[in-house]
Each structure stands twice: as structure tokens, then as C-alpha cells.
């Protein structure tokens, strides 16, 4: 049985969110939701997500199709007032033969389980990707639109497309029936996406797509990539086989086979934002890219071609005009002491480096001497091992109000492996602050005030931990 704390958490969350959407109570083993039919479309979508209500049920509520709800779902619906509908559901429901508490499901969606590993990178995360289609018509880019096609099931009455690109909304993307099959086209940015078709209410993976991955329901989702780069080798026309290998695929030499073109060889693919090293493998011989002058030497002394995808972060070190050599190093390049030589400029030294959004530790090496960034107040570590920290494209601020007499305040959590050295926060006016980039997902955290670990006094959401002291919890939305 779950402790009373979990039900208190649920009740607290419900009271908070219902200020926006409805009134909710737990009564006689039933979970009750009062839905105001005057809510906006955005509020409908958020309401459905928060309470694990299928969009088809939401549609039925607002159409007052209560026969569908009462006969086909585990919810029960009735009208309280012309603009107010009551939905009820047993707190304990069957899910594939296993009883689960509905409150457990809601809390799991919001916060995850305490025993979960740290939240993974953002949904759709991948260093690289190539599509594997059994039918070339299953997925194509047409006039800049990503077009999905289901070439069979011509007798179906309705086919829907749902995936990570629309938060798995079951009603948002109806497919159009054509002579060739069911089609839906939409605008998607470069990246990895998972999806399924819903054929007359039945979920199914794409039969024309060989690339799949497991999901939380014990089935599989189809996977598709929107490409953002093409590698070309305008040489080796006499070669029999050419492969691409790089840091993005752990230098596997027989995985990414290039296709022959009139000018040489080519392979389009998706590459994650950041800086990537690579080489071509021509009939077993490794070569750099003859058309790319940008090269770097790795920690083993190998010279590789380098490409940057996405935006670059400009690192700047002012002063040190008499230095002969300044090198940038950090966890983004495995602390390589030679690779990233900075450029001398009028005000000092600088270097632009492509990075994916994230949190990075770094230092400068000035003529062999390691130093922190004097312009950056944010650090991590202690003693001789203090590094500068930068959040590239930060999307969240940890804030601790008060504690004006504290000498040092850190924040630590699942985002940095509960490092006891944490991220060092800075005092600003009446609060302490640390900007950070967090992928969408659930995170637990604490503040460390002069060595004392405390939960966030301004955050009502927390979870139990093994020390019975609790951890604060936040949820970063996509």
C-alpha cells in the first residue's frame, strides 16, 4: 500500500491544478472530476494530459456523448449543471491484469518513481539516425513537409497518426484517404520521432518502417528521423565500399554505408547538435574528409575531420596578452588538453564551439596552467578541482529565497548524479540562483546551505527518499 503521503501529494496537486481546470475530490474509493465545459482548447489538452484522460473521452465529454464514456471506458459521466460534467473513476483499475492505483498512475506521470534512474535526455534524443524503410512510400519529405503514408487498410473507416511530435494526441492528426493509402503531412524540425497509427481504434506500428523501439506498454513504436546533414566524399570513385564513422556512432566502421553517386559517395542522416569528429573508411582505409579543412587531433593523436551542427557557444578569456598558447578544455571534449586551441583577439582569447543545449564544466589552460573562467561566477567542485559551469540555452532557474547569511549555497540532484559538490549558486538581491538546462522529464533535487541539505521551501512537491528527509521534485515540460 502507498503511504498517506502519496495521497496528500495527490490531493495537493489536484487542489493546485484545479484552480485552472476543475474541482477534484477522492470520495468513497472514487476519483471525481468536475469539468467546466467552458474551458479553452489549450486547457482541454492540458487537463487531458494531467489526468490521463484520452482525447477521445475529452471529445465525448464536450459533445455530451455519455453513452460512449459509460459503455466503452472505465470512467462514468453525468451532468451536474448545463456547463458542468462529473467524471468518476475507481481509484483501483485493471491494467493488463495488474491492479494499479489511479493515484499512482497520476503521480508516476508527474514525478516518476523514487527508484527511477535520473531522467533521460529529451524525448526523441539520439546522437544520429538513419531511416530504415521497407517501403519508400511509408515516409517521405515532400515540399518541406514530413509525409507519413499507410499504404494498406483501404477498407478502414478512420485512421489517425499519433506520436512524440503531437504528445501522442489520439485525435489531433486524422489521415486523409487517397488512391495510394492514408496520408498525413506535417512540419517537423530535424530530430528523432516515434509514432504509431490508430486504425479504427486499433494501435499499430508502421508496417512500412523497419525501425522500431520498445515502449512503456510492452509494445513497439515506429521510429523516424528528419535529416539535417549529408556527408559527401567527392573522391574514391573506384572504391567498392565506403563507410562513414565518427564520434557520434562510437567509430563503428561497418555501420553507416555510403551510397555511390556520380561525383563519389554520399550519406544523409540526422546528427544531434554539437561538434562531431569523423572519417571515411574507403575499402578498409581510414581517411579524413579532403573537402573539409577543419581538423582536430584527439587524445590518442589521431587527426580527424570535424563538423559543427547547430549553434555555437563563444568562450572568451579577456587579458593574458603575453600568453603563448591558451586551450579550452571541458567535459564536452573529455578534457582534452590539446584539441581546442583558442584564437588570439584584441581583447584576449576566444573560441566558438558547437554544443547541444546542456550543462558543461570547463577550464582554460594558459601556457600549461589551468584556470577557471574569471568572467563566470558559476562553478562546481572544491579545492583544486573547481571548474567553471555554463548552461547553454538554459531553460530553468533554481532559486532559493532568503538565507542571506549563508556563505555557500549549492544545488544538487538527479541532473548531476547527486554530486555533493553540486552546482554553486550565486547571491542576487534577496535570493540565490543557478541557471540550468534540463531536458523534459522529472527531476528530484535539494539545496546544500553551508553543508546542510534542505528541500526547496517554496516548492510544495516532494518525494520520499531512503533517508526519510525527502527530495524536492520538479517536472520540465517539453
3-state secondary structure 27-65: ECCEEEEEEECCCCHHHHHHHHHHCCCCHHHHHHHHCCC
**The pLDDT value given to residue 287:** 97
Coil, helix or strand for 196? strand
Strand partners for 385: 382
pLDDT beyond 60 at 146: yes
Strands (E), 212-371: 212-214, 220-226, 229-233, 242-246, 256-257, 259-260, 265-271, 274-282, 285-287, 295-297, 303-309, 312-318, 326-330, 340-341, 343-345, 348-354, 358-366, 369-371
Q: Report how far Cα 118 is from the mean position of its chain's Cα atoms.
A: 12
**The pLDDT value given to residue 96:** 38
Between 24 and 182, where is the model more confident? 182
Q: Are residues 211 and 254 in the same domain?
A: no
**The pLDDT value given to residue 109:** 41
Strands 348-354 and 343-345: antiparallel
**The pLDDT value given to residue 34:** 82
203 contacts: CB under 8 Å, gap ≥ 6: 196, 197, 219
* Residue 315 counted as domain residue: no
Q: Are residues 176 and 246 in the same domain?
A: no
**The pLDDT value given to residue 74:** 74
Using CA atoms, how far apart are residues 421 and 451, in angstroms rounded to an integer? 10
Q: Are 403 and 456 in contact (CB under 8 A)?
A: no
pLDDT beyond 60 at 249: yes
The torsion region of residue 66 among left (phi > 0), alpha (psi -120 to 50) and beta comes to: alpha
Angle at which helix 4-18 crosses helix 102-111, to 10 degrees, equals: 70
Domain-ending residue, one of 162, 192, 226: 226
**The pLDDT value given to residue 7:** 44
**The pLDDT value given to residue 290:** 96
Coil, helix or strand for 372? coil
Summarize pLDDT for 3-19 with one digit per residue, the tens. 444 444 444 444 344 33
Q: Are 310 and 276 in contact (CB under 8 A)?
A: no
Provide the 8-state DSSP code for 248: G
pLDDT beyond 70 at 113: no
Summarize pLDDT for 255-302 with one digit per residue, the tens. 999 999 999 999 999 999 999 999 999 999 999 999 999 998 887 889
* Residue 440 counted as domain residue: yes
Q: Are residues 425 and 458 in the same domain?
A: yes
Whole-number percent of the chain with pLDDT over 70:
85
Strand partners for 158: none
Using CA atoms, how far apart are residues 93 and 74, in angstroms rounded to an integer? 8
**The pLDDT value given to residue 88:** 84
Using CA atoms, how far apart are residues 209 and 136, in angstroms rounded to an integer? 9
58 contacts: CB under 8 Å, gap ≥ 6: 44, 47, 48
> Which range among 87-91, 226-230, 300-304 shows the weakest confidence by mean pLDDT?
87-91
pLDDT beyond 90 at 418: yes
Average pLDDT of the chain, as a whole number: 85
Domain-ending residue, one of 60, 80, 111: 111
* Residue 189 counted as domain residue: yes
Q: Are residues 252 and 216 in the same domain?
A: no
Q: Are residues 163 and 196 in the same domain?
A: yes
> Which range among 8-12, 134-138, 159-163, 344-348 shows the weakest confidence by mean pLDDT?
8-12
What are the CA-CA distances from residue 104 to residues 16, 216, 376, 462 (Å)?
Answer: 18, 15, 42, 15
* Residue 357 counted as domain residue: no
**The pLDDT value given to residue 114:** 36
Strands 259-260 and 256-257: unpaired
Look-up: residue for cell 549529408? Answer: 230
For the beta carbon of residue 123, count every other beta carbon within 10 angstroms: 16
Coil, helix or strand for 110? helix
pLDDT beyond 90 at 395: yes
Element (H, E) at 66: helix 66-72
Confidence of residue 20 (pLDDT cuts 50, 70, 90): very low
Using CA atoms, how far apart are residues 341 and 343, in angstroms rounded to an integer? 7
Q: Are 411 and 423 in contact (CB under 8 A)?
A: yes
**The pLDDT value given to residue 91:** 54
* Residue 284 counted as domain residue: yes
The torsion region of residue 19 among left (phi > 0), alpha (psi -120 to 50) and beta comes to: alpha
Q: Total domain count for the chain?
A: 4
Q: Are residues 98 and 150 in the same domain?
A: no
Distance spanning both ends of the chain, measured CA to CA: 32
Using CA atoms, how far apart are residues 211 and 108, in angstroms rounded to an integer? 28
Q: Are 359 and 387 in contact (CB under 8 A)?
A: no
Q: Are 422 and 412 in contact (CB under 8 A)?
A: yes
* Residue 457 counted as domain residue: yes
pLDDT beyond 80 at 132: yes
Coil, helix or strand for 8? helix
State which residues form the domain around 42: 4-111
Average pLDDT for 101-115:
40
* Residue 372 counted as domain residue: no
Q: Are residues 187 and 234 in the same domain?
A: no
Summarize pLDDT for 437-446 with one digit per residue, the tens. 998 888 999 9
pLDDT beyond 90 at 401: yes
Domain-ending residue, one of 111, 142, 165: 111
Q: Are residues 103 and 160 in the same domain?
A: no
CATH code where residue 208 lies = 2.60.40.10
Coil, helix or strand for 218? coil
**The pLDDT value given to residue 24:** 60
Q: Are residues 10 and 107 in the same domain?
A: yes
Q: Are residues 217 and 135 in the same domain?
A: yes
Average pLDDT for 414-440:
94
- Considering only CA atoms, which of 462, 470, 478, 460 is closest in space to residue 16? 460
Q: Report how far Cα 9 is from the mean position of its chain's Cα atoms.
A: 26
Q: Are residues 187 and 104 in the same domain?
A: no
For the beta carbon of residue 430, count every other beta carbon within 10 angstroms: 9
Residues making up the chain, counted from first to last:
478
pLDDT beyond 50 at 228: yes
Q: Are 213 and 124 in contact (CB under 8 A)?
A: no
pLDDT beyond 70 at 38: yes
Burial class (CB in 10 A: 0-12, 13-18, 19+), 66: middle
* Residue 358 counted as domain residue: no
Using CA atoms, how far apart are residues 192 and 210, in angstroms rounded to an integer? 15
**The pLDDT value given to residue 372:** 96
Average pLDDT for 327-337:
92
Q: Are residues 204 and 275 in the same domain?
A: no
Strand partners for 277: 306
42 contacts: CB under 8 Å, gap ≥ 6: none
Amino acid at each position: 500500500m502507498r503511504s498517506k503521503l502519496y495521497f496528500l501529494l495527490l490531493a495537493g496537486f489536484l487542489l493546485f491544478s484545479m484552480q485552472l481546470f476543475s474541482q477534484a475530490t477522492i470520495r468513497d474509493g472514487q476519483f471525481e472530476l468536475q469539468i467546466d465545459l467552458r474551458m479553452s482548447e489549450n486547457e482541454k489538452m492540458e487537463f487531458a494530459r494531467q489526468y490521463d484522460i484520452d482525447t477521445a473521452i475529452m471529445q465525448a465529454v464536450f459533445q455530451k456523448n455519455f453513452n460512449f464514456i459509460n459503455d466503452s471506458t472505465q470512467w462514468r459521466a453525468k451532468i451536474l449543471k448545463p456547463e458542468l460534467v462529473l467524471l468518476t473513476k475507481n481509484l483501483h483499475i485493471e491494467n493488463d491484469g495488474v491492479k494499479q492505483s489511479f493515484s499512482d498512475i497520476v503521480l508516476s506521470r508527474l514525478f516518476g518513481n523514487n527508484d527511477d534512474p535520473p531522467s533521460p535526455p529529451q524525448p526523441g534524443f539520439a546522437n544520429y539516425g538513419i531511416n530504415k524503410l521497407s517501403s519508400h512510400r511509408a515516409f517521405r519529405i515532400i515540399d518541406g513537409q514530413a509525409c507519413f503514408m499507410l499504404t494498406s487498410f483501404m477498407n478502414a473507416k478512420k485512421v489517425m497518426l499519433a506520436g512524440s511530435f503531437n504528445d501522442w494526441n489520439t485525435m489531433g492528426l486524422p489521415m486523409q484517404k487517397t488512391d495510394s493509402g492514408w496520408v498525413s503531412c506535417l512540419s517537423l524540425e530535424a530530430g528523432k520521432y516515434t509514432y504509431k497509427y490508430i486504425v479504427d481504434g486499433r494501435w499499430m506500428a508502421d508496417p512500412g518502417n523497419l525501425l522500431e523501439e520498445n515502449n512503456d506498454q510492452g509494445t513497439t513504436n515506429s521510429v523516424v528521423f528528419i535529416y539535417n546533414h549529408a556527408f559527401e566524399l567527392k573522391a574514391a570513385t573506384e572504391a567498392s565500399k565506403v563507410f562513414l564513422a565518427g564520434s557520434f556512432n562510437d567509430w563503428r566502421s561497418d555501420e553507416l554505408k555510403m551510397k555511390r553517386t556520380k561525383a563519389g559517395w554520399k550519406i544523409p542522416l540526422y546528427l544531434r547538435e554539437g561538434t562531431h569528429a569523423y572519417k571515411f573508411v574507403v575499402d578498409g582505409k581510414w581517411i579524413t574528409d579532403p573537402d573539409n579543412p577543419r581538423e582536430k587531433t584527439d587524445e590518442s593523436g589521431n587527426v580527424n575531420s570535424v563538423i559543427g551542427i547547430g549553434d555555437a557557444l563563444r568562450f572568451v578569456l579577456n587579458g593574458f596578452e603575453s600568453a603563448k598558447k591558451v586551450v579550452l578544455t571541458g567535459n564536452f571534449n573529455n578534457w582534452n588538453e590539446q584539441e581546442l586551441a583558442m584564437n588570439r583577439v584584441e581583447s584576449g582569447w576566444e573560441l566558438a564551439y558547437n554544443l547541444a543545449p546542456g550543462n558543461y564544466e570547463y577550464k582554460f589552460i594558459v601556457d600549461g596552467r589551468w584556470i577557471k573562467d574569471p568572467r563566470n561566477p558559476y562553478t562546481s567542485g572544491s579545492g583544486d578541482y573547481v571548474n567553471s559551469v555554463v548552461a547553454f540555452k538554459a531553460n530553468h532557474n533554481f532559486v532559493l529565497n532568503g538565507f542571506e547569511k549563508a556563505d555557500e549555497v549549492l544545488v544538487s540532484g538527479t541532473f548531476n548524479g547527486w554530486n555533493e559538490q553540486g552546482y554553486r549558486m550565486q547571491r542576487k538581491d534577496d535570493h540565490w540562483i543557478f541557471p540550468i538546462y534540463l531536458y523534459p522529464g522529472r527531476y528530484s533535487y535539494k539545496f546544500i546551505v553551508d553543508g546542510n541539505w534542505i528541500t526547496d521551501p517554496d516548492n510544495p512537491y516532494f518525494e520520499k527518499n531512503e533517508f526519510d528527509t525527502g527530495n524536492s521534485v520538479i517536472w520540465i515540460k517539453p
